[in-house]
Amino acid sequence: MSQVREHWSSRLGFIMAAIGSAIGLGILWKFPYVVGQNGGGLFLFTYLFAVALIGVPLFIGEILLGRMTQSAAIGAFSHEEASGSWKVGAFLGIASSFLIMSFYSVIAGWGLSYVVMSLTGFYQGLALDQIPLIYEKLSKSGGITVMWHFLFTAICMGIVFAGVRKGIEYWSQIMVKILLVLLLILFSYSLTLKGLHQAVQFVFYPNWDKFKVSSMLEALGLAFFTLSLGQGIMISYGSYMKGKENVVKTSAIVGLSVITVAFLAALTIFPVVFSFDLSPDAGLGMVFQTLPFLFAQLPGSLVLSTIFFSLFVFTAITSAVPLIEVCATNLMEKAGLDRHKAVVLVSAGTFLFGIPSALAQTGWVFPMWEKIFGINFLETMDRLVSVWLIPLAGLITSLYVGWKVDRRELREQFMRGHQSDALWSIWYGFMRYVIPVIVFCIILQKSGILDLSMQG
């Protein structure tokens, strides 16, 4: 290819884009409710463990792979001679990007609707017990949900249409900073609530009753999801990176930011849950049902609520845009389509495929779904991706980097930015043995082939 590859304008630009992709609905929407459903403390620590020991090393692996090959996922997985079927790793990533986008935009669409509701003061003056009902109503209004889903998809399509990198880099920087400040404000308020004590206990105290060994795959999947791994996205981001940067440090910063925001989000939301007698395992609607309680209590509630949900949508955009981008660039390369056609096709595809997710809580399509599978269509897509496809893609990536990629070349990439030999050996050992073995065991366990559980 004769095109010159664009690169991030600075290290900070890369970090911010990576954080922008990482911090999204995974943390703001999914993390709190999954922690709630899995009984709090123990799950949270498994998640932290998964981010630090499996997520960050794999993150480093994906970035190095991208920077070394200077190509996106499919190219990166074909870099070594006779790479043959390793490309499956890239295809899994593309498939899951498509699936994630299909339901991601439904949730983000609800966020958009909350922006409008905040702006119009819709839930101001409502009795407190009415607040959670707004979400119930919204998620059961199929036509409205589909409309917001469409709008969000269209916004993301517009951005990818116009070119991603500079826009994403620029906006991510601004969004992430404002989001942090706002979360800190909300968090400080949560500290004053009477449910704080219970929340802290819930978040930090291991609850063995609710935690199953099978929750481990969920925690791992969530760690991968929140770090945007297994999608080929970090491979692309690595390929836009300049040569000299210290990937280890950069990746650690991203991991740390994700953990910090996750904690802040949990410690903001759970005090509300316990102060207003809500259920910690409320499920999908948790963020929409809890935070408005806070907003309703605070001075300037309309402004805060509008800012929060706008940020919610913006962080969703900075995460969603690369999802479309990954599918579109591969379609361009494989099917020889031009950029505009590919982007429209992918967006139309995720929109259409997302409709059953948008209607999941209305019972209009696949009415028996929840009875048969125990969870609705949207949750099924989420599980399929987070519990199966992403960990599988992660497994393939670690095996490819650990066993197939030329060791010397990889080492040389790793050592840039003055790493110690010991760190290299540890990391390489993780890619070759630790990550594959852990992920493999958890997948076997989850699929029922291996039974490690004491309690199911």
The contact set with ligand PHE (CB under 6 A) reads: 21-22, 24-27, 100, 225-226, 228, 231, 233, 319, 322-323
What is the DSSP track for 369-393?
Answer: HHHHHSS-HHHHHHHIIIIIIHHHH
Please state, in angstroms and rounded to a whole number, the distance separating the CA atoms of residues 24 and 265. 12
Count of CB atoms within 10 A of residue 91's CB?
Answer: 16
340 close to 161: Cβ distance less than 8 angstroms: yes
Residue whose beta carbon is closest to ligand PHE: 26
Q: What is the DSSP letter of 87?
A: G
Give 231 or 239: the residue with its C-beta nearer to ligand PHE: 231
Give 69 or 318: the residue with its C-beta nearer to ligand PHE: 318
Quickly tell me which residue has 């509701």 as its tokens.
117
58, 92, 96, 253, 298 from 230: Cα distances, Å: 9, 8, 8, 19, 40
One-letter amino acid for residue 225 of the chain: F
Count of CB atoms within 10 A of residue 37's CB?
Answer: 17
Query: CA nearest 66: which of 74, 11, 96?
Result: 74
Min dist CB 293 to ligand PHE, Å, is: 23
Min dist CB 424 to ligand PHE, Å, is: 27
Give 8 or 98: the residue with its C-beta nearer to ligand PHE: 98
Min dist CB 175 to ligand PHE, Å, is: 13
Min dist CB 132 to ligand PHE, Å, is: 23
Min dist CB 409 to ligand PHE, Å, is: 26
333 close to 74: Cβ distance less than 8 angstroms: yes
Give 113 or 315: the residue with its C-beta nearer to ligand PHE: 315
Give 231 or 361: the residue with its C-beta nearer to ligand PHE: 231
Tokens of 13: 């630009």
Q: Which residues contact 162 (CB under 8 A, 6 or more apart)?
A: none
Give 382 or 410: the residue with its C-beta nearer to ligand PHE: 382
Min dist CB 322 to ligand PHE, Å, is: 6
